[in-house]
Structure 1
Amino acid sequence: MPLGEIVREALKSQAAAKQRTILALVGIVIGIGSVIALVTVGEMVQLTSEQQFRQMGTNIITIQPGYGSPQGGNNQADSQPRQITWAEAQGLSRKVAGLEAVAPYTNAWGRPLMDDKPLDMPLLGVTGSFADINKLTLAKGRFVSDLDGYAFFGVLGAGAAAKLARMGIKEPLGKTVYFKNRGFKIIGVLKRVDEGGMRPFEINPGMMIPLQTSFLFKPERNINAIMARLKPKADRHRVKAAIERYFKGDLPGAGVQVRSAEQLIAEMAKQSRLFTLLLGAIGSISLLVGGIGVMNVMLVAVSERRKEIGVRRALGAMQADVKAQFLVESVILCLAGGLIGIALGVGAAYVLAKVNGWIFFVSGLGLTLGVGVSSAIGVSFGYFPARQASRLDPILALRDQ
């Protein structure tokens, strides 16, 4: 029997049993839509995260205090935080040749006040190179400078400026924010930057002050972390080793943690792949349920159409023709459900991307999975009903009323 004729007969049979067809479609639509949405969301999250790193450049590294024993041992009970001093941070660019720019910073949480109203914002003590390395853009005013020394100046992040705007302060430049009884004059406001990546999370909601000034609120002139940019063509591994040697000094068991953007991107990509596989596995459960639903609907169809099968066999149809018709019906059902599921899955992924600010794209893997898996389900779960239909005894089938 020609394939075209089999497809036409399959479509007629499905059109004649609309309720049964819709029930079979629902399970496949939900299953395929879930897989497409989950896989696409996983890939979008990975791409968005990687994009945040690449916006700053893959030649950025961070240096943070590590833990170690002053005696050089491995006893965790004796481990102590390795403090980074301001003097060490100043000498870093001179001692390590592969660094183009260095931006040490400190951070502190407090309750700054403006007009006697608490702001609950973090403070970052930074240098002038901090804005360059983090690619910060000013909305108005200027950024802090290394020449500011111990001046009480502040630059607001976009989130902090928005908070002041909600308090009725539309123009913060020139206003004074009080922190620990010291007044900081606002000299600049930053545009919003993407959070995540290598940037400190305090930038948007916080206020940046001169690094030297931040030492007035600390018992020691220590640095919380250092951001640095590598010179072009500098070997990341050699620079990392040189930094670790520099900070090791006379404390053989204590050092620093040096992490690069490339290293974090590789780790994040590995985690995202596992996350995407997990999401796909979760969505596959609904696919399995949908496939079982298709098989049950097709078994009901075989039971209801026993007389039709008997007539066809009596008129000369072969077992292969009957089997092919039911298999084609199953595949058509699953393909139609797959296409609808793809549309719904992509739509759900688009909504999630817009709500969360992710980069939206249509996953080629998701589309391939949608079409391929729906076809596979149609064949796999339609084979048993089709086989059962083809093996019906035509005489017994014709006797059914």
Structure 2
Amino acid sequence: MSGGSQTFRDLIHDVRTNLRTLGKRAVLTLLGVVMGSCSVVALINIGHNAAEEAAAIFQGMGVDTLVAQVSNAADTRQTSPLPAGITQLRNKVPDLVNIAPVALMGNSVTFKGRDISIQLIGSTPPLKQALGLEVHEGRFLSEFDDQATHAVIGRQLADELSSAGTPVRIGDTLRVQHALFQVIGVLHPRFASAIAPFDPNTSMFIPLQGVSRLQAWAPVTHVFARAPGARPIGSVASDFKHGLRQLFPGQDIDVLVPQQIIDGLSQQNRTFTYLLAALAGISLITSGVGVMNVMLMSIAQRRREIGLRMAMGARPRDIRNLFMIEALTLTTFGALTGAILGVGLALIYARVSGWSFALSPMSVPLGIGSAIVVGMFFGLYPALSASRLQPVEALREDE
């Protein structure tokens, strides 16, 4: 074959022949590239799905929801904001809707002789919209239940109370301390929000005024509201905090904004993903060193062949291209195989962790591209070394 007139088809044929000659060394190098590409794709997807899962916990309550925590100083005995106070707050901050004060307390509920520890939530009807709660059976609290002994329970709590063999039905009576409450609704199961101080699935909701039946002082611990308007939620949160300070004089108010937490969480997860990608890059560099070692060994074994090609008219760039295509073939096949394996491993990890799997858009291109770039970079030096050999020296050293 004449090096000066070598066609691309001839070049590919030579590459295939040379790779078969490398045998086990080529396979080991290929495995290194596969593992490097697999690590990049798998780790990026795992980090991406971890970020999506964490963000979903916050978004389950709604990004336009605001949660204000009230300090409840010991010398302050206001049990709940008056309706006039809520109206005043709504007038001062017209962007707020579904304002719902909450009195949170730990307690236990008894049903048919079965006693379970719960979180007791005293609140008002707007809490349903503020938290995005859905009723599975019955109804939620209404304004007509203020003086009634009605209760709405979470789905998980209903299941736990029913485990004694007698299911909880609408109209059944639950006992909390010395008070009896009638079940009027059961909530639909939902993700527990990381920003809410309670889990709706295991909680019992009663009218805010009903908390006074259980203890003399029932302080409001939180106030929920939504800000669905176009105004920046940070500005609304500032006005919300200022209005609550007037409604709860002498108490510290801390307003949490889910969107701000989500943004901060997303930034942290991006940093975490970059860290995982950097760790995967180490394995890619290791595989690149393997490519370079195999190419150098191949050149050492084929010095006479290189000398013959040059003596027959092959140009240095032809020799360089021959070895670069060998490196490209190895790394491309390994990168594609590793990307497929990486997606599969990330999918398995998500299933085992109970996550919903979503493919990161950049994982596969980055995994394949980085593996090819690393392989070509480490294959460049051996290719250039081969192209700089002198035909006479190569033939003489092989004799």
On whether the aligned pair clears a TM of 0.5, the verdict is: yes
Q: Aligned to 1:294, which of 286, 291, 295?
A: 291
Match of 1:147 in 2: 144
User: For the residues of structure 1 that align with 2:262 and 2:76, how far apart are their CA atoms?
Assistant: 26
- Conserved in 2, the CA contact under 8 Å of 1:133 and 1:229? yes
Amino acid at match of 1:283: A
Aligned partner of 2:93 in structure 1 is 97
Q: In 2, Cα distance between the equivalents of 1:327 and 1:355?
A: 41
Please give the per-residue CA displacement for 1:88-135, whole angstroms capped at 9, x wherever unaligned.
686234233322211222333344344444434433223211112222
Residue-by-residue CA offset, 1:125-170 (whole Å, 9 max, x unaligned): 2321111222222221222333323544332323323434555444
Could you say which residue in structure 2 is the equivalent of 1:344? 341
One-letter amino acid of the structure 1 residue matched with residue 36 of structure 2: G
Q: Amino acid of the residue matched to residue 142 of structure 1?
A: R
Is contact 1:65–1:81 with CA below 8 Å preserved after alignment? no
1:255 to 2:252 alignment: yes
Q: Which amino acid aligns with 1:94?
A: Q
* Count of residue pairs the alignment pairs up: 390
The equivalent position to 2:128 in structure 1, one of 128, 131, 144, is 131
Gaps of 5+ in 1: 71-79
Q: 1:357 to 1:145 in 2, by over 3 A?
A: farther
One-letter amino acid matched to 1:260: V
Asked whether the equivalents of residues 106 and 211 of structure 1 are also in contact (C-alpha less than 8 Å), the reply is yes
Q: Deviations over 1:342-375 (max 9, x none)?
A: 1122222333344445453322221221222112
Q: Which residue of 2 aligns with 1:10?
A: 15
Secondary structure, aligned partner of 1:112: strand
Q: Determine helix, strand or coil for the equivalent of 2:132.
A: coil
User: Whole-Å Cα distance in 1 between the matches of residues 378 and 146 of structure 2?
Assistant: 74
User: In 2, distance between residues paired with 1:51 and 1:342?
Assistant: 27
Q: CA deviation at 1:205?
A: 2.8
1:32-111 correspondence runs (5 A) = 32-50=37-55, 53=58, 56-65=61-70, 85-87=79-81, 91-95=85-89, 96-98=92-94, 99-111=96-108
CA distance in 1: counterparts of 2:115 and 2:329, whole angstroms: 64
Higher Rg = 2
Partners of 1:84 and 1:224 within 8 A in 2: no
Shift of the 107–287 alpha-carbon distance from structure 1 to 2, 3 Å rule, reads farther
SS of 2:201's equivalent?
Answer: coil
Q: Which deviates the most, 204-213 or 230-239?
A: 230-239
Residues 369/383 of structure 1: CA separation in 2 closer, same or farther (3 Å cut):
same
Q: Please identify, of 303-312 and 324-333, the stretch whose mean Cα deviation from structure 2 is larger.
A: 303-312
Specify whether residues 391 and 129 from structure 1 end up closer, same or farther in structure 2 by C-alpha distance, changes over 3 A only. Answer: same
Q: Which residue of 2 aligns with 1:26?
A: 31
Seen in structure 2, the aligned counterparts of structure 1 residues 138 and 244 have a Cα distance that, compared at 3 Å, is closer
Contact residue 107 and residue 118 of structure 2 kept, 8 A: yes
User: Structure 2 unaligned runs (5+)?
Assistant: 1-5
Alpha-carbon distance in 2 for matches of 1:141, 1:16 = 75
Distance 2:184 2:249 in 1: 43
Displacement of 1:177 after TM fit?
Answer: 4.0
Contact 2:150 2:183 in 1 (8 A): yes
Give the direction of change, closer, same or farther, for the CA distance of 1:250–1:205 in structure 2 (3 Å limit). closer
TM-score, normalised by the number of residues in structure 1: 0.83
Query: 2: CA distance between counterparts of 1:125 and 1:47?
Result: 32
Tell me the residue number matched to 2:305.
308
1:387 correspondence with 2:384: yes
Query: Secondary structure at 2:200's aligned position in 1?
Result: coil
Indicate how the Cα distance of structure 1 residues 177 and 253 shifts in structure 2: closer, same or farther if over 3 A, else same: closer
Worse overlay, 147-156 or 96-105: 147-156
Q: Does the Cα contact within 8 Å between 2:179 and 2:213 map onto a contact in 1?
A: no
Check whether the contact 2:43–2:280 (CA below 8 A) recurs between aligned residues: yes
Q: 1:124 touches 1:202 (CA, 8 Å); kept in 2?
A: no
- The answer to whether the 8 A contact 1:164-1:172 is kept is no
Contact 2:193 2:199 in 1 (8 A): no
Is the partner of 2:36 in helix, strand or coil?
Answer: helix
Q: Which amino acid aligns with 1:388?
A: S
Amino acid at match of 2:68: I
CA distance in 1, matches of 2:75, 2:357: 42
